[in-house]
Structure 1
């Protein structure tokens, strides 16, 4: 049963193969097994690749089976259409487009399995790429908020500088009126005279202005700090909102790109392995000598071809003979007097009818 199934997978004519030797049947069963297991590998590879895209097990398996059946049908068609020829160059030319197609299929099959085999290494590369993307994302978002925050902080510094300058001025006035009272500066008179009172009033006025300035600037600074806090919160919100996009940066294309960052030699040998598997049925057909099955198949095809050519030739000869007979018959009839008189009578009647019809038409017009 298994042998018959693999023979069916090879695409060989089972009616012809039944009359061949056991060795010939085993050869095509081996070719069919290669075709079948290539389709199985294609199913596994496609299912994994689709799982990285859809992240759904059942959908991946379903579409993976469809892909596997497609590869199975293509391989079976490729193998079944390669016919053994008497010239090896003709066989190679015949197999060239099929080998090119096998190359494409090998690439499609091997790439998803490479992603699975090197999954840990790919995850490490993706982690490094995600970290770089996270830092770049934070810097890009910061460029949107940093100038505004810096401008607000500069404004706060300016307000604080105003308070510090006013405070220094008030402290200077304080030292002035104290020195006047002690007689160490100003009028050099000890005690609280008119000059002292004047300088004390000037200090008190400056102190009141300082208190008012502190109160006003404090309100302004609190409002500016609130804006800074809001901008910082917006920055944090934007970073958190964009981070899931970076965290999900592990799709099929991202993994293929990460795979390209790894050493190429292991991936290349895996590709060669699948290329060998995919092309093995074709290579086996090319390398195998012309066997019993090929002779029987050639005999059947040439029999049908010969019979068809013979039938076409007979039909052409029949048409030619029939035409020659008809020409000869019509030539002989053309010389008979009876036929000439009959044709003359009918032609006369036809001309009379045409004349009557023309007369009636012209009479109706008048």
Structure 2
């Protein structure tokens, strides 16, 4: 039962193969088994690859099954269409396109399995890429907010500088009127005279301006700091909203790109393994000598080709004979007086009808 199934997978003529030896049947059963298990591997590989895209088990299995059946059909077609010829060069020429197709199929099958085998290493590469993308994203978003925040900080610094300058001026006026009272500067008269009172008034006025300036600038600084806090909060929110996009950067293309950043040698050996599996039935057919099945199949094809050639030649002879018979019949009919008279009578009737029709048309045109 299993052997019959694998023979079906090989694309060989099961009825013809039944007339061959057990060894010949086992050979084609082995070829069919290779085709079948290659399709199974294609199903597994494509299902995993599609799972990284759809993130749904049932959808991935459904489309993976379709892909596996497609690969099975292609492999079966490739193997069944390679036939033994009289020379190896003829066999190789007919196998070249099929080998190229087998290489393409091997690449398509091996890549998803490579991603599964090196999943941990790929995840590490993706983690490093995500970290780099996170930092780059923060820097890029910061370019939108940093200039605004720096401008606000400069305004705060200017307001604080203005307060400090006014405070220094007020302190200087304070030192002046104190020194005047102590007699260490100004008029150098000890006591609180008119000059002291004048300088004290200047200081008090400057102190009142300083207090008013502090109150006004403090309100401005508080407003500016509130704006800075709002910008910091908005920046953090934008970074938080964009982070899930970066965290979701693990699709099929991202994993293939990450796989290409790993050392190429292990992936290359896995590809060679699948290439050997995919091309093994073709290579086996090329290297194997012409067997019993090939001889019988060639005999069947030869019989069919001969029968078709005979039919074509018979049709040509029938056509030529029929043409000669028809020519002879019409030549004999030329001498038949009765047929001549009948055709003459019909021709006269046709001419009368044409003349009457022409006459009626002319009369209508004159009215």
Determine if the TM-score, normalized by the shorter chain, exceeds 0.5: yes
Matches within 5 A, 1:316-331: 316-331=316-331
Matches within 5 A, 1:58-73: 58-73=58-73
**d(CA) in 2 for partners of 1:142 and 1:23?**
74
Query: Partner residue of 1:210?
Result: 210
Q: TM-score, normalised by structure 1?
A: 0.98
Q: Does 1:107 align with 2:75?
A: no
**d(CA) in 1 for partners of 2:54 and 2:360?**
85
CA displacement at 1:264 relative to structure 2: 0.7
Which shifted more, 158-167 or 326-335?
326-335
Deviation sequence 1:54-81 (CA, Å, 0-9, x none): 1112221121111111111111111111
Query: Partner residue of 1:136?
Result: 136
Deviation sequence 1:193-228 (CA, Å, 0-9, x none): 000000001100000000000000000000000000
Q: Show structure 1 runs of 5+ residues with no match.
A: none
**d(CA) in 1 for partners of 2:212 and 2:353?**
130
Query: Partner residue of 2:292?
Result: 292
RMSD: 1.1
CA displacement at 1:319 relative to structure 2: 0.8
Which shifted more, 332-341 or 30-39?
332-341
Query: Partner residue of 1:247?
Result: 247
Query: Partner residue of 2:172?
Result: 172
Q: TM-score, normalised by structure 2?
A: 0.98
SS at match of 2:290: coil
Matches within 5 A, 1:286-365: 286-365=286-365
SS at match of 2:73: helix
CA displacement at 1:358 relative to structure 2: 1.7
Query: Partner residue of 1:55?
Result: 55
**d(CA) in 1 for partners of 2:6 and 2:194?**
124
CA displacement at 1:268 relative to structure 2: 0.7
CA displacement at 1:338 relative to structure 2: 3.6
Matches within 5 A, 1:177-216: 177-216=177-216
Which shifted more, 345-354 or 133-142?
345-354
Deviation sequence 1:215-242 (CA, Å, 0-9, x none): 0000000000000000000110011111
**d(CA) in 1 for partners of 2:339 and 2:237?**
109
**d(CA) in 2 for partners of 1:98 and 1:309?**
30
**d(CA) in 2 for partners of 1:341 and 1:67?**
77
Deviation sequence 1:122-143 (CA, Å, 0-9, x none): 1111111111111100000000
**d(CA) in 1 for partners of 2:59 and 2:338?**
87
CA displacement at 1:303 relative to structure 2: 1.0
Query: Partner residue of 1:230?
Result: 230
Query: Partner residue of 2:122?
Result: 122
CA displacement at 1:342 relative to structure 2: 3.0
**d(CA) in 2 for partners of 1:272 and 1:67?**
21
Deviation sequence 1:314-333 (CA, Å, 0-9, x none): 01110111101111121222
Q: Show structure 2 runs of 5+ residues with no match.
A: none
Which shifted more, 151-160 or 349-358?
349-358
**d(CA) in 2 for partners of 1:346 and 1:158?**
123
Which shifted more, 168-177 or 301-310?
301-310
Which shifted more, 341-350 or 178-187?
341-350
SS at match of 1:184: coil
Query: Partner residue of 2:149?
Result: 149
**d(CA) in 2 for partners of 1:25 and 1:288?**
14
CA displacement at 1:120 relative to structure 2: 1.1
Query: Partner residue of 2:33?
Result: 33
Task: State the number of aligned residues.
Answer: 366
Deviation sequence 1:60-107 (CA, Å, 0-9, x none): 112111111111111111111111111211111111111111111101
CA displacement at 1:340 relative to structure 2: 3.0
Query: Partner residue of 1:163?
Result: 163
**d(CA) in 2 for partners of 1:59 and 1:322?**
65
